[in-house]
Chains A and B, each alone.
Chain A
Amino acid sequence: MKAPSNPIELIELIPSLLSEGILNPTDSASVRIGNFIFITPKDIPIQNLPKSKKKKWVEIPLHTSNLPFDAPPITKLHLKLYRSRHDFNAIIRTTSENILTCSMAGETVLPYLDDMAQIIGSSVKVVPYGENDSVYDLAVKGIRRKNAVLIKDHGAICGHRTLDDLYAVCHVFEKACKAFIEARILGGGKPVPWIEAELIRFVYQRKYSKQAEKNK
């Protein structure tokens, strides 16, 4: 599993992301390659991006403060996240069904399934929606030591080192949100205890991913 080297690699994932409802045509996605990020342009639906033309993506230097006209408004948040999280090489804003519901409820999502604790973290907070630096800073703070943060009424931002891992984060978080919601239909449920959740996360990050790499 390697960090993306070309935004076209993300294009190859898009049909699966769309068919699973992880991405919607208006959602944004980006990759970091060296000192640049490549983000989906604001006026082209994701599924219409050509499979071979890198130049259709908006290319932005990582440390710039001037954004091109075709960059989506959320670009500033992507840039801030890449600057603060050196382990992120790909970011997706997802509005899949249950993630969106949890973002609308405005409640921190706890790990009712232990794969959330492993892959995303022991909780996922909700931060306010907005297009200014102070709100973006809250999102950067909210995702610290985690791989996702909910944006009030606007789904979640997910990030990871590789596209494959990012896909796993989006998939697991949607399932975790579904469990968080539907466990309440069934009368409640309890999250994985915090200490166990942190332990599972630690073990997964240190051991399982290394073993998976070795077994390839």
Chain B
Amino acid sequence: MDVNKANTIVRDTGIRLLKAGLITRTWGNISQRIDDDFFVITPTGRTYEDLDPDEIVKVNIHTLKHEGKIKPSYEKGLHAETYKLRSDVMSIIHTHQMKASVVASARIKIPLVSDKMKQIIGGEVLCTAYALPGSKKLIRSSIDCLSKSGSKAVLLANHGVVCVGADMENAYQVSKELEKAAQSFIEDTFKKVAHTKKFNSEAVRRWYLTNFSNENFK
């Protein structure tokens, strides 16, 4: 793929994710594979709405060296390893999207909750063991989870999610569907544990304070 085209795809996807509420501020990162040796990725610490396509950073998949003065995302290693090990992956989105991150904080998987989830994500979404962001342990665990589940998403324990796709549109749809699946999973679980048919903020607060208030608070 042409670098300029890849840069524009990455930048436009950032804006799209921002508008969909799946990323905020400078958090998360997006990459697009160019060929077997290079990919382009969002820079570190930049807000998506101020980003120009020519500020997207080109990175070597094998050496992780980047071109230009702007530093790429610190998660570049996770993207590079995923591209190396999964030749079918052309685009990667890493977000801290709210509902899927809540499940990642519980360190459990999201089971298949709908036909649409099966169709878009491809299967259940596993969660990695906890590891520091950007660490080799997290990268390995993430790749293992993707391989085991055969799905296009993985939860990073206490951190966020990674969604992959055959193209950027595919990765974007995975990210969107994952959020819906996470919401549905949380809602269904709440109804079971709280023995209620309602899921709203008031019901959650009541259940939480009944079960987890610190009675010894002074």
The chain A residues found within 8 Å of chain B, CB to CB, are 97, 101, 104-107, 111-115, 126, 128, 152, 168, 171, 175, 178-193, 196, 199-200, 208-209, 211-213, 215-216
Q: Which of A184, A185, A186, A193 is packed against the most chain B CB atoms within 10 Å?
A: A185
Q: Is the CB of B98 within 8 A of A175?
A: yes
Q: Is the CB of B101 within 8 A of A179?
A: yes
A142 CB → nearest B CB, Å: 13
Q: Is the CB of A107 within 8 A of B214?
A: yes
Our pick among B103, B185, B205 for the contact of A101 (Cβ within 8 Å) is B205
A189→B207 CA distance, assembly (Å): 17
Our pick among A113, A193, A199, A215 for the contact of B159 (Cβ within 8 Å) is A113
A131→B179 CA distance, assembly (Å): 42
A138 CB → nearest B CB, Å: 11
Q: Is the CB of B159 within 8 A of A184?
A: no
| Residue numbers in B under 8 Å from A171 (CB-CB) | 24-25
Interface size class of B (residues with CB under 8 A): 35 or more
New contact pairs (18) apart from A104-B205, A192-B158, A211-B44, CB-CB < 8 Å: A101-B209, A104-B209, A112-B106, A152-B217, A175-B101, A179-B105, A181-B204, A183-B105, A183-B106, A184-B208, A186-B189, A187-B106, A189-B105, A200-B133, A208-B44, A211-B71, A212-B45, A215-B43
A126→B214 CA distance, assembly (Å): 10
Chain B 43-60 near chain A by CB (<8 Å), digits 1 or 0: 111100000000000000
A181→B208 CA distance, assembly (Å): 7
Does B113 lie at the interface of the complex (its beta carbon under 8 Å from any beta carbon of A)? Answer: no
Does B186 lie at the interface of the complex (its beta carbon under 8 Å from any beta carbon of A)? Answer: yes
| Residues 94-136 (chain B) with a chain A CB within 8 angstroms | 96, 98, 101-108, 130, 132-133
Q: Is the CB of A112 within 8 A of B189?
A: no
Interchain residue pairs A-B with the least CB separation, the first 7: A212-B45, A106-B217, A112-B105, A189-B106, A106-B214, A186-B106, A179-B105
